[in-house]
Amino acid sequence: MQSVPGRIVQRATGAWKALAPRERRLALLTAATVVLFLLTTVWRAAVNRLNELDTRADALADTLLNYRQQIARRAAVESAYAKIAAQHSSQWSEAEIHDRLRQEIYRLARKVPQDLDETGKPLNVPNEMGNLVEIPSLGKGEMTEGGRGYRQYLLNLRIPQTNMNDLVSFLERLQSSPQSLRIDRLEISRNPDNPVVSAVIDITRTVADGYTPPPELADFLKGGSGGQTDGQAKVSPKGRIPLNPEDWTVKQCTAVREEDSGGRPYLRIRAVEDGAVAELPRRLPAKTPLEMIVEAGVTGKVTLGVGDADGKTYPTPEPMRPGGTHRYTVRFRPSGSGERVACPRFTLENAGAAVSLYALLIRDVTE
């Protein structure tokens, strides 16, 4: 008995033989047209897919090029942003903000403004070239709550007679200042028979609170990486201090070096019992006014201070604020010659309290 496929082939062969020659040619032409249509459809789909892949590849290449350009500019951008970030602190009082703003305005009023130090203060450089514009006095400033996370300080200043080009240059400097200055009001007046002008300017300075800097911002604490060791105290004790866990003396707590989610290294100090203490012993010059700058975040109750060899802390320990990363400044003066000082000394009052120390700087203070 013949199979089903065999019968189908036999019937198709019989039907084909029954066709006239003209009908056979028409059937072959129809089959060829169908095959050509299918091939054309497949080819067009393939070409469209290739075109889509080419377009996507071009877009990815442009994105990659853009990323490479951004990476190439990243160092310069971060460096410029670090200078601006150094001009912000949630700790500054109204008087400190006014003083920094006053220094910045007088700096920009020079023909050749001096550079800023690592904390954003103008360097003490003589004004040999004179001033671009004269500012006899500054008005009394006013602090306002600008909004969530920042404050605003308003200040009025008057510029007596000067030429227009110098005034425009001074205004450009104000707008590009790292202190985030904004010109809210500008009044320029001139006598008809006099080419010089005078101006009244209202300036607003924005000060960010609770600022958490990027990893590269730790470079604002420049000034050296320590020196040789003498037990646990440094021979070169000032400048930027490296955060090595083995240099610290810990009691009822641990100190390890870790990295945050952004890859920024920090020293993690965590209390395992109540009343834990972590300190960094250093030999410091006697009777020299010094300043310690700490950039850290804490959880729990933690105080910051500077201690002597007897375990006493001076000046009065300062409570550290939980939540975010903050900057603390402690001024002190070692009493003994070559005294070994705990600088800094963290006291963690409860078990589980922790300190995330990102940067530490010790430097001289000019009185």
149-192 per-position pLDDT tens digit: 678 889 999 998 899 999 999 999 998 888 889 999 999 998 88
* pLDDT recorded at residue 59: 84
Per-residue tokens: 5: 């496929």
pLDDT tier, 330 (very low <50, low <70, confident <90, very high otherwise): confident
Q: Name the more confident of 321 and 337.
A: 321
188 phi, psi to nearest 5 deg: -115, 130
Handedness of CA 110, 113, 114, 120 (dihedral sign): positive
First to last CA, the chain: 117
Q: In the predicted model, is pLDDT for residue 95 greater than 50?
A: yes
63 phi, psi to nearest 5 deg: -65, -45
CA–CA distance, 330 with 9 (Å, rounded to integer) = 100
CA–CA distance, 339 with 11 (Å, rounded to integer) = 113
CA–CA distance, 40 with 111 (Å, rounded to integer) = 75
Q: Which of 49-63, 78-92, 174-188, 229-243 has the lowest mean pLDDT?
A: 229-243
Domains of the chain, by residue range, sit at 4-83, 94-208, 215-364
C-alpha of 277 from chain center: 30
Do residues 218 and 359 lie in contact, with contact meaning Cβ atoms separated by under 8 Å?
yes
Q: Report domain 215-364's class.
A: mainly beta
Per-residue tokens: 176: 């590009």
pLDDT tier, 76 (very low <50, low <70, confident <90, very high otherwise): low
Coil, helix or strand for 294? strand
pLDDT tier, 129 (very low <50, low <70, confident <90, very high otherwise): confident
Per-residue tokens: 107: 């700096």
151 DSSP β-pair partners: 207
Residue range 311-330: average pLDDT? 82
pLDDT digit string (tens) for 266-285?
A: 999 999 999 999 999 888 77
CA–CA distance, 233 with 248 (Å, rounded to integer) = 9
* pLDDT recorded at residue 254: 92
Q: Which of 105-109, 252-256, 360-364 has the lowest mean pLDDT?
A: 360-364
pLDDT digit string (tens) for 230-256?
A: 333 333 456 778 888 888 999 999 999
* pLDDT recorded at residue 166: 92
- DSSP conformation class of 98: H
pLDDT tier, 78 (very low <50, low <70, confident <90, very high otherwise): low
Give the architecture-level CATH label for domain 94-208.
2-Layer Sandwich (3.30)
